[in-house]
Structure 1
């Protein structure tokens, strides 16, 4: 997988990458847009893997190309967003709630986290806003939704989200349970 990413990088940018890395897919239960700003986050690694081939540039724009679509995206690199501070506080509160097994508080924290991603970062979508009692993860103009639910209510929650999407004429969501996975590392 990293070989394909390295080849695409060289084709698009005209030079080989410095290296290629892969990591398990992950969702941040809380802490979106804070981890790379020295803030706290609460991640869970997934079985699915992501691969990155990269080289340091001397520009103030991140340029990325997708192996799936081939499209190139440019993102200006800016300072820390205001939502970082409140998300760091939510991560601390979530750790306390998990330790206390207070999943009602966790639900409230998830909702507040989603509101921050929607309002402070402006990276939510109408589809994500439609998903009830969930927190957006993946943090970039859509991303994913993580719903903290009891195992015995999983089917009902998936049904409610699917029905809500259908009622809004959205494409059917892809829903699946997640479980912790292995670590990230440099592939080449």
Structure 2
């Protein structure tokens, strides 16, 4: 178990046993991309892949953190945590107690050992898994009682978002942290980012002879290189020009007439994606509840086309993954996550999964791309204490 590995790393590094071990999952978003920061809807599931954190509180202000995937011990006093400090992966750890303290909670320093099993750079929210595992640890270590129910977990998710936005300086919208803290096994999480309302939507593909395949394209994926922020800026510009509170307020009906008021084709395309994507989430939930998986597959394809053509966040590897998966028998496929690399998902007949995986690998090889990694996933549970 990686809980044991995290505990062993803690003992080796800090010379004592941790108080406990906590973990949080990565996520894939079934549909609803770049809608979270537009007060829209999204539909993620938690992955079985988790990040494990062994931790122990300190009496002083120091945060000390080591990772099995990192390069040595990082130390920083909480009073010195600030935008960009510490840099790199440690920002996602130190930022969480900093954000909890900023939210008014009595938090001191802590020692942390991390063992992350969410694929890095794959668009599967390894950063949110790390933040939320640290947040879960902090909740228990400092007796904050934020894991007891959805209200506390929502509060903790907000602190993790603050840590990522402010300290790690990545403009995430909050879907990832909500999925990591609120997801339920066997369900997708319908998240309304306007009011924070959530619903659990049954997502048991195996009962219908289906499976969800994740294809990590291994194309470079980083949200801090400015592209994600540019898309968010475009959405905010469209909101200002349309005179609405958010793109959530723009109805899908009569959309083209509304979009004609925007000053550029780029803004029209960006806004079109968001408005139609919110509608696709609503349709996907209806289809899942009625077990209409062919309709879900068609919505996956429409979503990918919108992200490729209107939002312009796909890359050749993602397009190849989608096209080859469908050619091999997938009901539908789409890129997932922030884009510009990362992963695609495909809804496949379970007995066709190996053939789909082989076809995707062959398509990548034919185009000279790095060989992708692919794996089947099920909807898993939220962040919690492991021991």
What interval of TM-score do these two structures reach, taking the shorter chain for normalisation?
0.7 to 0.9
Partner of 1:51: 130
- Cα pair 1:63 1:74 within 8 Å, conserved: no
Q: Which 5+ residue runs of structure 1 have no aligned equivalent?
A: 1-21
Partner of 1:42: 43
Cα displacement (A) at 1:30? 0.4
TM-score, reference length from structure 2: 0.37
State the alpha-carbon separation in 2 of the partners of residues 55 and 108 from structure 1: 33
Cα displacement (A) at 1:179? 1.4
Q: Does 1:27 align with 2:28?
A: yes
Cα displacement (A) at 1:55? 6.8
Structure 1 residue aligned with 2:312, among 118, 122, 132?
122
Q: Secondary structure at the match of 1:176?
A: strand
Q: CA RMSD in A?
A: 3.0
Note the alpha carbon deviations across 1:115-162, whole angstroms, 9 max, x for none. Answer: 111122211110110112311001221121110011111111111111
Larger-Rg structure: 2
Structure with greater proportional helix content: 2
- Cα pair 2:164 2:170 within 8 Å, conserved: no
State the alpha-carbon separation in 1 of the partners of residues 342 and 310 from structure 2: 16
Cα displacement (A) at 1:74? 4.5
State the alpha-carbon separation in 1 of the partners of residues 286 and 360 from structure 2: 28
State the alpha-carbon separation in 2 of the partners of residues 130 and 146 from structure 1: 12
TM-score, reference length from structure 1: 0.73
- For residues 1-188 of structure 1, the aligned pairs below 5 Å read 23-49=24-50, 50-52=129-131, 54=163, 57=166, 62-63=169-170, 73-75=224-226, 76=229, 78-80=233-235, 81-82=270-271, 83-131=273-321, 132=323, 133=326, 134-184=333-383
Partner of 2:121: none
- Cα pair 2:32 2:280 within 8 Å, conserved: yes
Q: Which 5+ residue runs of structure 2 have no aligned equivalent?
A: 1-22, 51-128, 132-159, 172-219, 236-269, 327-332
Q: Secondary structure at the match of 1:153?
A: helix
- Cα pair 1:117 1:139 within 8 Å, conserved: no
